A and B are shown apart, each in its own frame.
Chain A
Amino acid sequence: EIVLTQSPGTLSLSPGERATLFCRASQSVSSNYLAWYQQKPGQAPRLLIYGASSRATGTPDRFSGSGSGTDFTLTISRLEPEDFAVYYCQQYGSSMLTFGGGTKVEIK
C-alpha cells in the first residue's frame, strides 16, 4: 500500500496570499496518477487536479499541481475566501487506492 503524507497539517494564511501544499508518497506513484480534492465542511469532496497537473473541469486557474514520482505539490496562487477548506491528495496508480491525511487551509 502506498502511504501518502501531506504537509503541513494546517496552513494559516490571509486572502490574496499564496498557498503551497505538499504530498509525499512512500513509493513512486505509477504514471503520476495523483489527484487533489477540496472539501468544505458538510460537503462532499470535489476533484481539483488529476494526473498530478491537469485541472478538472471548473477548477479555477489559480490552482496548479506539479510533481512526479514521490513528491507532489498543490499551489493556490492567490487565495480567495472560498478556497479556505481541507485539501486531500490521492493516488490511483495501484489497485489499493489511498488518500493522504489532508491539509487544512485556514484564515489567518
Chain B
Amino acid sequence: EVQLLESGGGLVQPGGSLRLSCAVSGFTFSSYAMTWARQAPGKGLEWVSVISSSGVSTYYADSVKGRFTISRDNSKNTLYLQMNSLRAEDTAVYYCAKLGSSWINSYFDYWGQGTLVTVSS
C-alpha cells in the first residue's frame, strides 16, 4: 500500500523558516518524481515544486522561487521542502504527492494527508 506522511508543519513568524518532510512507503521511491502542492484555507490547490526521481531536476512556482528548496534522500525514502523567508500568504496545508513517472511531466497519483503551516506573528 502506497503511503505518504508529511510532517514538520506548525506556527512560524513572518520571515522565519520551516522544513517539511514526507516519508513514503509502498513503492520504489527512487523511481518516481515527487511534488509539493498547497492549499490556503478555503482556497484552491496551488502547485509549489517538483523534483525528478534522481533529484537532479527541480522546478518551482514563481510564488516560492528563491525562497523554497525541494530535495529528496532516496536512501531514506523521504522528500523535503525547505521554506525560508516565510510570508503570511504561505499559510496553507502542504501536501506531498507521488508522480506517475520518474520525470516531472506526470500526474499526481498518490497524495499525503497534508501538514498545516501557519505564518503569523
Chain A residues near B44 (CB-CB < 8 A)? 86, 88, 99-102
- Interface size in chain A (residues, C-beta < 8 A): 29
Binds A, one of B68-76, B83-91, B103-111: B103-111
B112 touches A50 (CB 8 A): no
B93 to chain A, nearest CB (A): 9
- B-binding segment of A19-27, A41-49, A76-84: A41-49
Residues of B within 8 A of A (CB): 35, 37, 44-47, 50, 59, 61-62, 95, 100, 104-114
Binding site for B on A (CB under 8 A): 1, 30-31, 33, 35, 37, 39, 43-47, 50-51, 56, 86, 88, 90, 92-102
Not counting A45-B95, A86-B44, A96-B62, a sample of 8 additional A-B residue pairs whose C-beta atoms are within 8 angstroms of each other reads A39-B45, A45-B111, A92-B104, A92-B105, A92-B107, A99-B44, A99-B46, A100-B44
